[in-house]
């Protein structure tokens, strides 16, 4: 029967201190994985890892936090070294760290080169660097592994005012397919998750506006916004042995937004 337990596995979740990243990290920890969470701010990783250890872990596994910028190779190397020292290596990587950047139409001055470069560097280059470095560790260990990249519905549809974000997430989907092709021979699967509108601590103030919430809900077939657990559950399944035969694809978690809800 399907087994969603992650006991004996080690997972790295980038951007794991808030929102979707925290939900995924806490879920993995609850199901038995040792977890390494990252974020740029040391205080955030300390607070989030303590929360997971105190409230979500049910066994003798644990969670540690490492402050790191996912777009910097030196920081990535430090995270992987910490995972190896604490847990012996890494079996699962969730590339979740990302930013939205400015909301601005392409022809406006606010949609500038600096903003575009910043979003691409974090959302796409960061995924590339972290996945490449982690895959090397997985290959050296000889046990295979799972890489899960958090993309977005924005990488599939042309949303207005989010050119850099959409381009970065479309790039993540393409990168996922290429990596899946190249890493398959080593027993490493690479897949992506594409969330739609999901309520997180970062946007709950926006969705508290009834008119905005109603507008967004009307764009989904299910007529509701997603919750963090709507993403964390599938992310758990993808990290478990249940999705061992899936690679190079994306899981669309959008409540029916892309089917013209």
**Residue numbers annotated as active site:** 165
d(Cα 11, Cα 64) in Å, to the nearest integer?
11
3-state helix, strand, coil in the chain (%, to 5): 50, 15, 35
Here the tokens at position 214 are 């109603």
Helix axes 228-239, 19-30, angle to 10 degrees: 50
CA 249 → CA 39, 91, 133, 221, distances in Å?
26, 19, 21, 22
For residue 188, the tally of other CB atoms under 10 A from its CB is 22
Are residues 6 and 238 in contact, defined by beta-carbon separation less than 8 angstroms? no
Beta bridge partners of 221: none
Q: Which residues of the chain form beta strands (DSSP E)? A: 10-13, 34-39, 63-67, 92-95, 145-150, 188-195, 250-253
Beta bridge partners of 67: 39
Beta bridge partners of 64: 36
d(Cα 140, Cα 45) in Å, to the nearest integer?
28
Beta bridge partners of 148: 94, 191
Q: In which residue are the tokens 């959008």 written?
A: 254
């Amino acid at each position: 029967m399907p087994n969603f337990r992650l006991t004996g596995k080690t997972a790295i979740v980038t951007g794991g201190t808030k929102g979707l990243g925290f939900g995924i990290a806490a879920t993995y920890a609850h199901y038995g994985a040792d977890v390494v969470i990252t974020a740029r701010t040391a205080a955030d990783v300390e607070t989030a890892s303590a929360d997971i250890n105190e409230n979500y872990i049910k066994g003798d596994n644990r969670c540690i936090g490492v402050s790191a910028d996912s777009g910097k190779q030196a920081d990535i190397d430090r995270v992987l070294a910490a995972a190896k020292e604490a847990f012996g290596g890494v079996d699962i990587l969730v590339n979740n760290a990302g930013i939205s950047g400015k909301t601005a139409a392409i022809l406006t001055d606010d949609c500038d080169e600096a903003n575009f470069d910043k979003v691409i560097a974090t959302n796409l280059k960061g995924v590339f660097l972290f996945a490449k470095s982690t895959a090397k560790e997985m290959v050296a260990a000889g046990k295979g592994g799972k890489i899960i990249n958090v993309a977005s519905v924005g990488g599939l549809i042309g949303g207005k005012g989010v050119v850099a974000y959409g381009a970065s997430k479309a790039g993540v989907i393409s990168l996922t397919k290429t990596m899946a092709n190249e890493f398959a021979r080593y027993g490493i699967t690479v897949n992506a998750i594409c969330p739609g509108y999901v309520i997180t601590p970062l946007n709950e103030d926006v969705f508290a506006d009834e008119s905005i919430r109603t507008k967004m809900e009307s764009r989904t077939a299910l007529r509701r916004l997603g919750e963090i657990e709507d993403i964390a559950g599938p992310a758990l399944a993808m990290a478990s042995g249940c999705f061992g035969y899936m690679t190079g694809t994306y899981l669309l978690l959008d409540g029916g937004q892309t089917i013209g809800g």
